[in-house]
Amino acid sequence: MEVGTALAHLALGLQVALSWQNLAAALAGATLGTLIGVLPGLGPVATMAMLLPSVYAMDATAALIMLAGIFYGAQYGGSTTSVLLNVPGEASSVMTAVDGHAMARQGRAGVALAVAALGSFVAGTVGTAVVALLAAPLSAVALTFGPRENFALLLFGLVSSVVLVRGSLLKGLGIMLLGMLLGQVNTDRISGVARYSMGWVELTDGIGVVVVAMGVFGIAELVLSVGHAGSTRPPSVHPAAAVWPTRQDWAQAWPAVLRGTMVGTLLGLKPGSGPVMASFMAYALEKKCAGVRGEPAMGNGNLRGVAAPEAANNAAAQVSFIPMLTLGIPTGPVMAMLVAALMIKGIAPGPQVMTGNPELFWGLIASMWVGNLMLLVLNLPLVGLWASLLRVPYRLLYPAILAFSSIGLYSVNNMGFEVVLGALFGLLGVVLRRLGNDMAPLVLGFVLGVPIEENLRRSLLLSHGDWSTLWSRPLAAILLVTTLALVVGVAWSRARGARAGPQARRH
């Protein structure tokens, strides 16, 4: 698409998006999305499902703008509790909690939240531009991915989690495999047979990623903090000067924001990837990138560990609209809700939306930028307010966190069973962390284990059991070779470091 044509389309979109009805819809969606992002467990899918009946009474464009705002607004809000309480509001905010909460304990919660908000805005703006300029050609590229390519890409993402591991590589691999095994507790989507549910009906639909993440991060953090002798609260937030990032903070964060935006843009196109995988991959990339001199190690309060995953999950959230808008293909449950909204209004999703309903198509795209600007205006003034939560004595904050987490867990499926399950994962997290394990590979293994298995089995079914089909296409072969090279490279560097240690001690 020519740039001039795209600009003309965007001008039409802005004209539609800036009408008072659509501005109100964007503001309502962005605000509600932020709130459900802060409240763990509810999530954008459940919220959008509850609001679908209201679509009947709304204009189609306003309805889609509101539902879209809920989705990308939740990516903003999820960072707040991740940084402050180590309780990821959304699964895509799990990686933000690793360094973000460490920064909060160092009195830099305000800096982390400000960078998260600004990085999210930059990524959302870039994602919107990509949707406007490259929607049709990029959708064609995404369609070339079959089960073999999906398997190779997801496997690469999973193996990349090895670079997230701090300490023993074997421990990290073991934790990752544990996460994959926990992901197998569900109903097999190919055969329809319940697996490892032990007769519990509640487990036949699988374990929710929010339950796992809140357990091993939030509840485990709560128990470990209570167990520290003499620990009444982490270090308090400094005065207002610590709320706004310094010039050095910006120099450290901007390259990570750009890298995270790039990762999120690429992975947002892939069905089944989206914000969750994008945030993991962006964090893994930052582990391999050189930072500025004197910055903390990744996992110990490094600002890049907040900037990159937050940029990645917001860019992926924006770009994931492309297959739905141009081809009518929902790439996940959120996009399925938007397709349902289109069908409620009597609009057939697919390429004809762009030509037959240009006001709706380009109005929705333009509203993404308007919504991201609204989210920035909503979030930045509240940074100091959110950060001041850490001034509350922990003897008062602990019960509130526990109640907050329990409500979030219950709201996943409106079952007390989820609360008990979250508590069990919290105890598991306590045990594993006391043994020196990192929890990030567990969550990544849990998230990616099921789609890896599904795409592997589909590939083998299509080839009648011929394993060579996995590398029979160029893109799949390149991804598998890259994965193998990564494994060899990490193993070699760890082995070299292990040999260098004893030699240094002898000298």
Nearest-10 crossing angle of helices 358-379, 3-17 = 70
Residue 443: the pLDDT is 76
For 12-16, 220-224, 283-287, which range has the lowest pLDDT when averaged over its residues?
A: 220-224
Question: Which of 146-150, 213-217, 408-412 has maximum average pLDDT?
Answer: 146-150
Q: Which of 248-252, 290-294, 380-384, 492-496 has the highest mean pLDDT?
A: 248-252
Segment 392-433, tens digit of pLDDT: 666 676 777 777 778 777 776 777 888 888 889 889 988 988
Q: Which of 184-193, 307-316, 337-346 shows the highest mean pLDDT?
A: 307-316
Element (H or E) spanning 447, and its range?
Answer: helix 440-462
* pLDDT of amino acid 10: 77
Output 447 or 316, whichever has higher pLDDT.
316
Q: What is the mean pLDDT of residues 103-131?
A: 84
Q: Count of H helices and E strands in the chain?
A: 22, 2
Would the pLDDT of 131 be above 90? Answer: no
In terms of Cα–Cα distance, which of 427, 442, 431, 435 is closest to 172?
A: 442
The answer, yes or no, to whether residue 227 has pLDDT greater than 80, is no
Check whether 180 has a pLDDT greater than 70.
yes
Question: For residue 349, what is the enclosing H or E element?
Answer: none
* DSSP label of 205: T
How much is the pLDDT for 259?
A: 92
Six-digit token pair at 482?
Answer: 């890259």
* Structural tokens at position 82: 């991740």
Q: pLDDT band at residue 333, thresholds of 50, 70 and 90?
A: low
- Between strands 186-187 and 194-195, the pairing is antiparallel
CB 253, CB 304: distance < 8 Å? yes
Q: Which residue has the higher pLDDT, 441 or 304?
A: 304
**Average pLDDT value for the chain:** 78
Q: In the prediction, which pLDDT does 478 show?
A: 87
Q: Whole-prediction pTM value?
A: 0.69
Residue 273: is its pLDDT beyond 70?
Answer: no
pLDDT over threshold 80, residue 28: yes
Residue 241: pLDDT band with limits 50, 70, 90 = very low
CA distance 397 to 452: 40
Q: Burial of 444 by CB count in 10 Å (0-12 exposed, 13-18 middle, 19+ buried)?
A: buried
pLDDT at residue number 390: 58
| pLDDT score for 66 | 92
Which residues are CB-contacts of 176 (< 8 A; sequence separation ≥ 6)? Answer: 158, 161, 162, 441, 442, 444, 445
pLDDT at 284: 83
Who contacts 294 (Cβ-Cβ below 8 Å, separation ≥6)? none
What is residue 463's predicted lDDT score, i.e. its pLDDT?
85
- Measured between alpha carbons, how far is 505 from 318 in angstroms, rounded to an integer? 51
Q: Where are the beta strands (DSSP E) in 66-212?
A: 186-187, 194-195
